[in-house]
Structure 1
Amino acid sequence: MSTTTATHAIPTIDISPLFGGDLAARESIAREMGRAAETYGFMKLVGHGVPPAVIADTFRAAEAFFGQSDDAKAPYQERKTNRGFQPMFDNAKPGQKPSGQEAFSMGHPIPPIDPALLPLPFYAATPWPDVPGFRERLETCYHAMFQVGEAVLQAFALHLGAPADFFANVSRNTYSNMRVVHYPPQEVVQHIADEGVRAHEDQGLITLLIQDMNGGLEVLGPDQDWLPVVPDEQAIVLNVAKLLTRWSNGRLKSALHRVINRSGRERYSIPLFIHPNYHQVIDPRDFAPDGEAPRFEPIVAGEQVYKNFAGERKSWAELTS
């Protein structure tokens, strides 16, 4: 496959009308976002309202954490919860080379309303490291990005013909998480990993991503070419994830994407993965037009995501061996 194409590019959409009171303007943006989601599964959002200072602070927090020794980071390693430190080369499916990245994942800062959810893995407490300002900066960024995610899901609900609050109602006990990710230059990790993160589709409803200016993110486009998601200091990248593709009966596209850090510099990114309630049933009949056969069987959101993670984290396998 080639890495460039002349016929397609990831669209940029100004979503500022989503935060206003003009319903017609919101519906117009929702249609534009829906078309981009159906064609690419990816788009860049400007007018999102996340303050640049919050983004800068979060990148600085990431640099401070990952700048420590492996021994200093190890006590905060996640324990089959998708919360905490994930070491370099941990993402690997059997028989494949691992991804050349390390990450720290925080859970949703607001505990679930239903206390019965607390024992489930994705509701575990985040093991915060003793790095000054780290938790405060990440939580501030999380809240700002999550507000964008709520507006995005309202737009997708409108596009799919559902009430605007559809996804809010099924996400009141969300197990969403935000990560800060560090990619060394590709030449540093290439003896073990061919890519910073191998080609994959995200697991949840949507992902919002802030990337630095070093580039490296690529998405598989409609012509099966790898399209660069060119960095933009003003933009948040949005991509559809697998649960939403399934729920929309395949209408909204979850696209393969990968990262190869060819910049020669350290690369950092901040993805927020938005999920519904752990027990939420993902049933395409909720959105399929009358007479349209469902393409997918119903699944339970959290159970499916946990199963998928268990098959691609080396550290999870080691904990059960």
Structure 2
Amino acid sequence: MDLQTLPVLSLADEPQRFSDEIGNSFRAFGFALVRDHGIDSKLIADAWRLTAELFALPEEEKRSYLLQGMSGARGYTPFRTEIAKGAQETDLKEFWHVGRDLPAGHPLATSSMPPNVWPRRPEGFREVFEPLFAEFDRVGSVILSRIAVHLGLVADWFDPAIADGNSVLRLLHYPPVGPDQGGAIRAGAHEDINLITLLLGAEEAGLELLAKDGSWLPVAPPEGAVVINIGDMLQRLTNHVLPSTTHRVRNPAGARAGHSRYSMPFFLHLRSDFRFATLPQCVSTENPDRYPVSISADDYLQERLREIGLKK
């Protein structure tokens, strides 16, 4: 495998072959590029259009959807709120979260999974993002089944672990970058919290992953493909056999600095009450269990939200 180029995989491939290939890509990069995922292209196009319209709304209107005390779980999070763990400057971004709506009385319907907030404008927002969330959920489940096989688990191993999971679709806007941003960048170097992230490719470049040799590699999926990366929860579960790779969104140079960048990651999460237990096949004499103490997925999430400034 060329360690300077991410391979482009097809989800339409024979399942065992795809399991082998995505496992190899994850072990080498922590990332993979996947085409033939089956998400409707018109649904995706409508989502991009509505994302741009949402963030073009007046600041006061957007802030009316900011939910205090919710750690950004749903609705709007203003510009320069989130900060990468260990960073000195907040990120140059604003975002909106769409999550899983649980029925009334569901035991997981807590402050970590509140009801969705749907904006009055732009028109048709809910009608697009509810089905898009469901499609990401579907594709993510298939990807996890292939990862399970790669790890020597049964294909449906993750199904109960992610049932009613706290997954979030994030709509991101990185405004044009001015000359007075100091040391801030669009997204500081970080790792994702969740199991896996599915990311629709953005029109504007900037996403980079930190390679094992210390260099930054651009991540540019072909049109219609998704970027998939390992999050810290899967890294923990696999005892770092599948690594959660540091990545960032750098600031554009020249004329591109005057353009907004939009991005749409789906953070696939475990059930809030899932308890971590390191997979035994990922423990060996050479790789002893790093996490002998169990913790729930929600406790882990809350700890990380404090680190990135979304929870006080």
Q: TM-score, normalised by structure 1?
A: 0.88
Partner deviation per Cα, 1:144-185 (whole Å, 9 max, x = no partner)? 121110110000000011111111111112111101100112
Structure 1 residues 39, 112: CA separation in 2 closer, same or farther (over 3 Å shift)? farther
CA contact (8 A) 1:89 1:102 kept: yes
1:218 alignment partner, SS class: strand
Deviations 1:200-250 (A, max 9, x none): 000010000013221110000121110000142221000000000110111
Q: Which amino acid aligns with 1:78?
A: L
Residue 151 to residue 230, structure 1, CA distance change in 2 (3 Å): same
Report the CA distance between 1:7 and its aligned residue. 5.0
**2:99 corresponds to:** 107
Pairing of 1:37-48 with structure 2 (within 5 A): 37-48=26-37
Unaligned runs of 5+ residues in structure 1 are 1-5, 18-24
What residue number does 1:69 align with? Answer: 58
> Residues 87 and 102 of structure 1 are in contact (CA less than 8 Å); yes or no, is this contact kept in structure 2?
yes
**Aligned match of 2:210:** 220
Q: Partner of 1:29: helix, strand, or coil? A: helix
| TM-score relative to the length of structure 2 | 0.90
Length, aligned pairs only? 301
Residue matched to 1:49: 38
CA shift for structure 1 position 84: 1.1
Task: Find 2:166's aligned residue among 172, 175, 178.
Answer: 175
Structure 1 counterpart of 2:7, one-letter code? P
Show the counterpart of 2:23: 34
User: SS state of the match for residue 39, structure 1?
Assistant: helix
CA–CA distance in structure 2, aligned partners of residues 154 and 112 of structure 1 = 26
Decide whether aligned partners of structure 1 residues 301 and 113 sit closer, same or farther in structure 2, where only a CA change above 3 A counts. farther
Which amino acid is the alignment partner of residue 48 of structure 2?
A: F
Picking from 200, 203, 207, the partner of 2:193 is 203
Q: Percent identity?
A: 29
Q: Which range moves more in the overlay, 287-296 or 135-144?
A: 287-296
Partner of residue 162 from structure 1, selected from 148, 153, 164: 153
Q: Is the 8 A contact 2:3 2:28 kept in 1?
A: no
Q: 1:287 to 1:112 in 2, by over 3 A?
A: farther
> Which of 258-267 and 150-159 deviates more?
258-267
Deviation at 1:94, TM superposition (A): 7.2
Number of the residue aligned with 1:278: 272
For residues 9 and 275 of structure 1, the distance between their equivalents in structure 2, rounded to whole angstroms, comes to 28
Which residue in the other structure is 1:149 paired with? 140
1:73–1:268 CA distance, 2 compared to 1 (3 A): same
The unaligned stretches of length 5 or more in structure 2 are none
Asked if 1:98 is matched to 2:94, the reply is: no
| Structure in which a larger fraction of residues adopt helix | 1
Answering whether residue 301 of structure 2 is matched by residue 310 of structure 1, we say no
Q: Which moved more, 1:219-228 or 1:8-17?
A: 8-17
C-alpha distance 114-278 of structure 1, shift in aligned 2 (>3 A): farther
Shift of 1:121: 2.2
Matched, 1:84 2:75: yes
Q: Does the 8 Å contact 1:100/1:193 carry over to 2?
A: no
Q: Per the alignment, in what secondary structure is the counterpart of residue 264 of structure 2?
A: strand
> Offset of 1:311 from its aligned partner?
2.5
